[in-house]
Amino acid sequence: MTAAELGQFLTARRHQTNPASLGLPAGARRRVTGLRRAEVAHLAEISVDYYTRIEQGRSGSPTPAVLDALAQAMSLGAQERMFLFNLAGHMAPARHTPVSINPAVDDLLHRLHHTPAMILSDLHEVLARNELAEELLGELPAGTGSACSLSYRWFTDPAARARVIDEDRDYYARTYVADLRRAAATRRGDPAVADLVARLRNASPCFARLWEAHEISVPARPVRLLHPDAGVVGVVFRHFTVTGAGQRLVWITAAHDQTQPPLPPRSVATPRHSAAPAFA
């Protein structure tokens, strides 16, 4: 990407930003659509001359702090903000704002009446789940933060591993660690990720060993769960990830038939929501 492309993107977004949405008067005497350069500079707390040079491709690569200020000044969404940083040759740092469950994913969860399913954050916090998921996997944690992460519970609480047969536990553990590796790379500098990883490294030698392996991709395969009534059940965890939202829909099917749930449904599975976590 070039400095010119960065400037063109900022110019386009400036023209598309409604002044009224930022509390600025629309004004009948405006000669430009959207924001003036001076208004962007004021909101970002940089000089008008510097902002003009950025738009004209004459400033070199702005610092992450300046890019973040510009993103906030023009109320860029998560994907636009990430694109802005990429244009300037930087990785977007984490933005510590509460995240709501993606409405489309929430709608899908409500439609999965006969399939165990849940919505997870990228730190394996359970944002929502249906009753069939808890019937299959056991009690799932309510709430957010490191102690409520499924990966944290896996490595620190033997009860969390009880429903996975011994031969499949290493695979399960590797999958959790690889997921967290990717989250740490995406959310570089995020205290929530750093806290979870630090807690796990201190609490679990197994996690510390796997973390040092730097594995970021584990091939998907069925795993075997030990259900108190049905015995050993082979399942496949299937994922639908929402790009830029830090969350995914996970639904579980029988290993031998990926169109069917692993256990016969007893009733309509009602989704249960947890409080939204603070993560970028």
pLDDT value at residue 93: 63
Chain centroid to CA 252: how far? 20
Judged against a pLDDT cut of 70, whether residue 227 lies above it is answered with yes
User: Residue 179 has which token pair?
Assistant: 């997921």
CA distance linking residue 266 with residue 37, whole number of Å: 61
Which residue did the predictor score with more confidence, 210 or 145? 210
β partners of residue 242: 247
The whole-number pLDDT of residue 258 equals: 62
Which of 111-115, 167-171, 264-268, 273-277 is most confident?
A: 167-171
What does the pLDDT look like over 143-175, one tens digit per residue?
Answer: 777 778 999 999 999 999 999 999 999 999 999
Taking residues 262-266, report their average pLDDT: 71
**Which contiguous run of DSSP H or E holds residue 225?**
strand 223-227
Q: How many CA within 13 A on the CB side of residue 58?
A: 6
pLDDT value of position 24: 72
In this prediction, residue 225 carries a pLDDT of: 95
What span, in angstroms and rounded, lies between the C-alpha atoms of 11 and 278? 31
Q: What is the pLDDT of residue 233?
A: 93
Q: What is the Cα–Cα distance from 193 to 185, expressed in whole angstroms? A: 10
**Residue 246: predicted pLDDT:** 79
**Average pLDDT of the segment spanning 58-66:** 83
37, 114, 130, 237, 264 from 268: Cα distances, Å? 55, 6, 9, 20, 11
DSSP 139: P
Query: Mean of the pLDDT values across residues 28-47?
Result: 80
Confidence of residue 274 (pLDDT cuts 50, 70, 90): low
Residue pLDDT, tens place only, 117-126: 999 998 999 9
Q: What average pLDDT score do residues 244-257 get?
A: 85
Residues of the chain with pLDDT > 90, as a percent, come to 40
pTM score of the predicted model:
0.64
Residue-level pLDDT at 279: 31
Round to whole Å and give the CA distance between 250 and 81.
Answer: 27
Instruction: List, in order, residues 6 or more apart from 78 with CB less than 8 Å away.
Output: 95, 244, 245, 280
pLDDT mean across residues, the chain = 84
